[in-house]
Amino acid sequence: MWDNPQSIAISGEPRIIFHAVLSFSTAISMQHKLLNIFLFVILFFGSCAPKQEQQNTSKPLESVKISYARGFSVNEYENYKKVVVYSPWKKGEIYALYYLVKDEKVNTPNDGYKIKVPLKTLATTSVTHLEFLSLLKEIQTITGVCSPNLIYNSEIQKNVQVGKISDLGDAFNLNVEKVMLLKPAALMTSGFNQTDANAQRIQQAGIPVIYNNEWMETSLLGRAEWIKFVAAFFGKETVADTIFAGIEKRYNKLKSRVADVPDKPKIVSGNNFRGTWYMPAGSSFMGNLFKDAGAAYYYANDTTTGSLPLNVETVLQNFSDTDVWLNANFNTISELIKSDSKHALFRPVTNEQVYNFNKRLLPSSANDFWESAVARPDLLLADVIAILHPDLLPGYELVYAEKLK
């Protein structure tokens, strides 16, 4: 802002100095007048400026209700929707900001990316985003994917085979040139705690990059609620809300059935991989799954997220006498033991109570556990409850889990 001129005191000096000071004071007075006129003009015309800034600071007309997810928000204003992706790594910071408009001529604040919606075409890099699009009936908008051999969805597989969907390479080594030639309305990808040079190049080419960070949520319902984020780019918030409400209701109903079970089976999860056993942290989405399914998990009170890298000796000490082994990434007991003879020292192996999440595994290595289960945690929870408390779900057929023989 402008600095106010400092006042000048006139002392009893010779007349020539007095006149000099008087002239200077007159000049200062003129500056005051000019400054006042200048400020008046700014205030007057500022009040007549477009409402863009007022919309940015005003309260939204409507907000999408979010109950579990912590990574995004969707707010509707008069001429656009404001979608915020929050940083999972720096609390309180914004990771990405989008203004969704139906008319590109609409003025939006300049602190985010303007995207015309509904999207007509979309390229995506992660299989974890595909079930959201399937539930919203937007598979036809997908024009590019990464690693199509890892995709389970049969409709997407078919579209890849007939050339409707392009192979954009590996998600961590994206074929930027192909994306630019494809020119999708947007590219949906997962964000990480580092600079993505490929995403920057694509953004600079005029293709908006949408960061879908569902994988950083710590609860299964939190991950599933990102369907509301995806829906905003297609104008299908109402549809998404209905879909999620059904999933939430089924999930919580299942959860309530095991809340007071007297016996909670002790479980172990994962397996030894090259000397390290990656066990789900207590506050990770898998850790919360075990809790919601009525399991007794050694790290249930652990407050960290992600995975806990452990040595085999530690795992043997704390988990060898467990009742059930979940998420063992093998197809048979013999494969499990062959990978590491120490696996045979766990009681679930002796009692043949070992399960993987490979029931929907294709020869191409595509596994629906990493795809549709993200958006359907109610089915995943039902699987685990049926394994741990079979009397609660008699006759239930497992969807993602399978018993090792």
Domain locations in the chain as residue ranges: 1-49, 54-249, 258-403
Residue 380 neighbours by CB distance under 10 Å = 25
Class of domain 54-249: alpha beta
Q: What is the pLDDT of residue 58?
A: 77
Q: Do domains 54-249 and 258-403 have the same CATH topology?
A: yes
Class of domain 258-403: alpha beta
Q: What is the pLDDT of residue 54?
A: 37
Kindly give the confidence (pLDDT) of every residue in the chain, 405 residues in length, as a single tens digit, with 9 standing for 90 and above. Answer: 333 333 333 333 333 333 333 333 333 344 444 334 333 333 333 333 333 333 455 789 999 999 999 999 999 999 999 999 999 999 999 999 999 999 999 999 999 999 999 999 999 999 999 999 999 999 999 999 999 999 999 999 999 999 999 999 999 999 999 999 999 999 999 999 888 899 999 999 999 999 999 999 999 999 999 999 999 999 999 999 999 999 999 999 999 999 999 999 999 999 988 889 999 999 999 999 999 999 999 999 999 998 999 999 999 999 999 999 999 999 999 999 999 999 999 999 999 999 999 999 999 999 999 999 999 999 999 999 999 999 999 999 999 999 999
Q: Measure CA 174 to chain center.
A: 20
Helix (H) or strand (E) holding 339: helix 333-339
End-to-end CA distance of the chain: 76
- Write the CB contacts of 405 (distance below 8 Å, at least 6 apart in sequence): 332, 333, 352
Q: What is the pLDDT of residue 365?
A: 96
Residue 342 near residue 191, CB atoms below 8 Å: no
Where are any strands of DSSP class E within 102-235? 113-116, 122-124, 142-145, 166-167, 169-170, 173-174, 187-189, 209-211
Q: What is the pLDDT of residue 207?
A: 98
Residue 222 near residue 244, CB atoms below 8 Å: no
Q: What is the pLDDT of residue 57?
A: 56
Residue 98 near residue 191, CB atoms below 8 Å: no
Strands 72-76 and 62-63 turn out to be antiparallel
* 170 three-state secondary structure: strand
pTM: predicted TM-score of the whole model, two decimal places: 0.84
Q: Measure CA 383 to chain center.
A: 24
The rounded distance, in Å, linking the Cα atoms of 364 and 150 is: 7
The rounded distance, in Å, linking the Cα atoms of 376 and 383 is: 11
- Write the CB contacts of 354 (distance below 8 Å, at least 6 apart in sequence): 324, 325, 328, 333, 336, 348, 403, 404
The rounded distance, in Å, linking the Cα atoms of 155 and 375 is: 17
At 388, which amino acid appears? L
